[in-house]
A and B are shown apart, each in its own frame.
Chain A
């Protein structure tokens, strides 16, 4: 066992096993002979102690709750420290000569990277590694951005690919989902800017045309198929969620504002086309997510399906319906949606149990 997530999964399984054993005993079902049960308990205790020592796992529900708080604290702390580094530099950089400014920028990028690697070796919990990695990423972003400012370098979208590469390097080296998300955002910016420049657009305006984001979305959705992530828990899910967001958010904009499209046709027709794509795409995401047991894909698909549906309701009925009726229709639609989803869930469970039986 080499990774914290695997260790945590094993500890969770042990807890589930113990709880079920206790339930069986209370219900009077003879599960295991006493000596065998004690032997298993001793083995589990040793295993939990070892896992706790080596991977700093949560051994019970209380520890898990505390861990969640620590995750939130480390996330906020990482953001705050990153902001602090930025403002610290801005506060004093004008007092230094150019050579010293550049030395500080480069030096601090190297130092924070080395610090992150050091934390990775010593911090089994990962919380402090996450903090250090976020600060290292910020320092590198600051390094490149400030070099551009100091020397009036022409702004370039290439900065995004360098930042993306660095964030992904830290994410994979330290198994950090926060840095993976940061890397993905930089990657989306780079690919979208490049898509825009191929049609002659000045790169900084890539956000003006939502269709520029579609190639990045496809890339993100395909990434988990190219790169195996068995060792990185949750990485594939993050790629898929960001892929879907990068796909559906521009679609949502275009479904309501056809003038933003690159297509040179009637804006109303563009809006109709993207509404259709939005419904079909989110329904397909729900179906595909259920088939592949990807809950994050199902949930993202559902959220966008509902948003597309409700924006259409708003377009059609907000002005013509009394408000009580409008909200009643919205509420009834939600209930209908729940019924359909429950049926789908049952069908999926049935298919799964049949598959397991055969």
Chain B
């Protein structure tokens, strides 16, 4: 039984990594970072990296990584039809109580999501952050005595700087049940990776309006760093390193290369 179980697992790994990867992304420390280990870091000699991602249009100053899509109107790829294609039965608006109960009963389902690296979704968010910073600066300049406006201008400016140089450029931009359909829609395998995720629709009210959103958790978001790449990663703590992640036939990721960055390497994402 021990032999059979290990054989099945390892054959699966070999199959995943055989041939050309389904996709491959080169990620910086903005998109991939060391994950916590529940306070057992001293007891754990392994190094585990986790993907950092967000959704388009995420709340400018208050989003979280990992399982969030709480922006005002919901990500553009979330609608009733898309969720229905993933197997969810989203109630029509009408009886608020019944609808809410029905949404509370929604279960997490397995789905495929598209991760986009440094693409239009990221650039749109940077442009929006820049627009907000500019508007806030103009308002503050018009009323220099208003402390709240000044603080708002500073906060939006800091946010813009973070968006341009620190925040992740990896965005979930679409979801669907079928790999071939998604790949046909997003053919660039060096920019778009398709991975498994668990998805659960959420329903909430904001400003008196009922909104549809979604909770997403990538099924295999964490990657163990093999020993051969440990030194390179440990030595490049300041500027970080470019980590090339491949996603195989079963969409399971692994590290295929680690390239240290020099301080002069730019990935500010300005455009």
Contact = CB atoms under 8 A, between A and B. Distances in A.
Q: Do A and B bind each other?
A: yes
Contacts of A264: 102, 105
Contacts of B108: 201-202, 204-205
Given A94-B45, A165-B1, A202 B227 contact: no
Contacts of A166: 1-2
Interface string A54-97: 00000000000000000000000000000000010011111111
A153 B9 contact: yes
B198 interface: yes
Interface string A281-323: 0000000000000000000000000000000000000000000
A286 to B, nearest CB: 34
Given A98-B227, A202-B110, A90 B46 contact: yes
A92 B45 contact: yes
Interface stretch (A41-49, A118-126, A140-148): A140-148
A257 to B, nearest CB: 12
A110 interface: yes
A199 B252 CA distance: 25
A286 B254 CA distance: 55
Interface string B234-268: 00000000000000001111100000000000000
Given A91-B44, A106-B6, A153 B12 contact: yes
Interface string B42-53: 011111100000
B228 to A, nearest CB: 7
Interface residues of B, number: 41
Contacts of A151: 9, 13, 16, 252, 254
Given A95-B45, A152-B220, A204 B10 contact: no
Interface in A107-150: 109-110, 113, 140, 143-144, 147-150
Given A154-B252, A202-B108, A143 B45 contact: no
A31 B197 CA distance: 78
B240 to A, nearest CB: 20
Contacts of A109: 2, 6
B19 to A, nearest CB: 17
A208 interface: yes
A94 B227 contact: yes
B254 A200 contact: no
A94 B5 contact: no
A253 interface: no
A93 B87 contact: no
A148 B102 CA distance: 35
A96 B252 CA distance: 22
B109 interface: yes
A205 B217 CA distance: 12
28 contacts: A90-B40, A90-B44, A90-B45, A90-B46, A93-B46, A94-B46, A95-B227, A96-B227, A97-B226, A97-B227, A106-B6, A109-B2, A113-B2, A148-B9, A149-B222, A149-B224, A151-B9, A151-B16, A153-B13, A154-B196, A154-B251, A162-B1, A165-B1, A196-B107, A202-B198, A205-B107, A209-B107, A264-B105
